[in-house]
């Protein structure tokens, strides 16, 4: 599916905008503050019910309004079928969602008509940020393709919080055991799935990085679980995790928190064998972040049949023109490509219909 039509009503800086979007996508340029990111945010909202920059619903409502409404039509590639979807909300947090002009009451009924992935300068935190940034990336991505992962992750976090609460307060050994068993059971699912997905991403990641860098550099990624286990059996991982928790118990009691588990995992990212977080340049970090997201999209293609909507919000600003020109051809035929750039920085996106924002309106050039 691709987004063929969009209407923004009191959404961010757009009071009333109706836009037809080409199947292939578009390059959208405009000066700083003209509404490029806002427009992509409308697209992301229609696909995920969220903002790609983590904004609250209230922040999405136009300053002079008390509600906003976003409508879109998702169309199937190459044939006539299409699904209109809409979402609206007010400052009292009342949400109204429709599919095919019929009201739906839950997000699960509403979601899933379009899939979007967003790339932006904030993705640099995937490389330069703390381990939690990389874990969040993995968790959001894996949860989208595997619902059992999401439920295990939620259950794991619940037992972890309960154990931490006990550690921070008064210890009750018998109760600790109960939480630890639950942590090991749910945590093993998380470890195991992260390991499987990272293993699938690793060669794809290296290949994307090679292609964007013109094969001048080699990059690698490696999942770093906080326990050691070489087995291919989830049961063995559960046992290894339980042993790890047991070994760390006295240390954890002193520290007042749990030091072992999926909440301490990381991904190691290297460029030419050197830790990217400490040594890579901004352009190299951008190349890593792009390769990470693109490899996640490719891996997720095994789990879903629908094509992706790619949102590139000024995502290549640190890349030189040679690297920039290699990025977009890698995504051709993989879905609709919506790329934004400030007016004077649009190299490397040849082949996409060019639109510009002029006084709040989107015009085709």
Ligand X SMILES: Nc1ncnc2c1ncn2[C@@H]1O[C@H](COP(=O)(O)OP(=O)(O)OP(=O)(O)O)[C@@H](O)[C@H]1O
Question: Where on the chain is the footprint of ligand X (CB under 6 A)?
Answer: 12-13, 30, 32-38, 59, 61-63, 314, 342
Select from Mg ion, ligand X, none the partner in contact with residue 32, using the beta carbon and a kind-dependent cut-off of 5 to 8 Å.
Answer: ligand X
Name the minimum Å distance from CB 33 to Mg ion. 8
Name the minimum Å distance from CB 232 to ligand X. 46
CA distances from 323 to 290, 316, 320, 348 (A): 11, 9, 6, 8
Torsion of CA 281, 284, 286, 292, to 10 degrees: -140
Decide if residue 37 touches Mg ion (CB under 5 A). yes
Report the Cα–Cα distance between both ends of the chain, in Å, rounded.
25
Cα 245 to Cα 256: distance, rounded to the nearest angstrom: 13
Q: Which stretch binds Mg ion (CB under 5 A): 28-36, 39-47, 151-159, 272-280?
A: 28-36
Name the minimum Å distance from CB 315 to ligand X. 11
Closest to Mg ion by CB, 219 or 327: 327
Cα 110 to Cα 244: distance, rounded to the nearest angstrom: 42
Decide if residue 38 touches Mg ion (CB under 5 A). no
Tokens of 277: 């977080």
**Length of the chain as a residue count:** 365
Name the minimum Å distance from CB 342 to ligand X. 5
With CB under 5 A as the rule, give the number of residues binding Mg ion: 2
Cβ neighbours, 10 Å, residue 70: 23
Select from ligand X, Mg ion, none the partner in contact with residue 342, using the beta carbon and a kind-dependent cut-off of 5 to 8 Å.
Answer: ligand X
Name the minimum Å distance from CB 63 to ligand X. 4
Tokens of 235: 């049961």
- Pair 116, 306: CB distance under 8 Å: no
Radius of gyration of the chain (CA): 22
- Pair 327, 161: CB distance under 8 Å: no
The alpha carbon of 200 is separated from its chain's Cα centroid by a whole number of angstroms, namely 17
Select from ligand X, Mg ion, none the partner in contact with residue 35, using the beta carbon and a kind-dependent cut-off of 5 to 8 Å.
Answer: ligand X
Binding mask 61-90 for Mg ion (x = CB under 5 A): ------------------------------
Closest to ligand X by CB, 3 or 276: 3
Q: Which stretch binds Mg ion (CB under 5 A): 32-40, 68-76, 148-156, 158-166?
A: 32-40
Shortest-Cβ-distance residue relative to Mg ion: 37
Closest to ligand X by CB, 61 or 288: 61
Tokens of 286: 């951008």
Select from Mg ion, ligand X, none the partner in contact with residue 215, using the beta carbon and a kind-dependent cut-off of 5 to 8 Å.
Answer: none
């Amino acid at each position: 599916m691709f987004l063929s039509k969009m209407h923004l009503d009191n959404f961010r800086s757009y009071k009333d905008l109706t836009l037809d979007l080409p199947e292939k996508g578009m390059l959208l340029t405009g000066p700083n503050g003209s509404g490029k990111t806002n427009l992509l945010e409308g697209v992301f909202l229609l696909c995920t019910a969220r903002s790609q920059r983590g904004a609250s619903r209230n922040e999405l409502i136009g300053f002079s309004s008390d509600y906003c409404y976003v409508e879109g039509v998702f169309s199937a590639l190459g044939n006539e079928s299409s699904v209109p979807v809409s979402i609206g909300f007010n400052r009292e947090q009342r949400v109204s969602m429709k599919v095919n002009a019929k009201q739906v009451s839950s997000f699960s009924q509403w979601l899933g008509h379009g899939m979007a992935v967003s790339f932006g300068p904030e993705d640099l935190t995937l490389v330069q940020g703390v381990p939690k940034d990389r874990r969040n990336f993995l968790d959001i991505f894996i949860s989208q393709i595997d619902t059992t992962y999401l439920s295990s992750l939620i259950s794991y976090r619940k037992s972890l919080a309960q154990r931490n609460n006990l550690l921070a307060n008064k210890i009750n050994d018998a109760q600790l055991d109960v939480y630890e068993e639950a942590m090991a059971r749910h945590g093993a699912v998380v470890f195991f799935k992260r390991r499987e997905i990272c293993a699938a991403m690793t060669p794809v990641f290296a290949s994307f990085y090679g292609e964007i860098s013109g094969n001048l550099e080699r990059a690698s990624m490696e999942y770093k679980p906080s326990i050691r286990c070489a087995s291919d059996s989830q049961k063995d991982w559960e046992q290894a995790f339980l042993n790890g928790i047991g070994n760390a118990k006295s240390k954890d009691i002193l520290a007042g928190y749990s030091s072992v588990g999926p909440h301490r995992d990381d991904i190691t990212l290297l460029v030419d064998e050197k830790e990217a977080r400490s040594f890579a340049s901004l352009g190299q970090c951008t190349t890593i972040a792009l390769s990470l997201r693109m490899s996640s999209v490719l891996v997720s293609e095994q789990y879903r049949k629908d094509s992706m909507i790619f949102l590139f919000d000024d995502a290549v600003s640190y890349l030189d023109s040679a690297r920039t020109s290699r990025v977009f051809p890698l995504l051709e035929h993989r879905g609709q490509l919506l790329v934004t750039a400030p007016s004077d920085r649009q190299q490397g996106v040849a082949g996409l219909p060019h639109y510009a924002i002029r006084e709040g309106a989107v015009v085709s050039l």
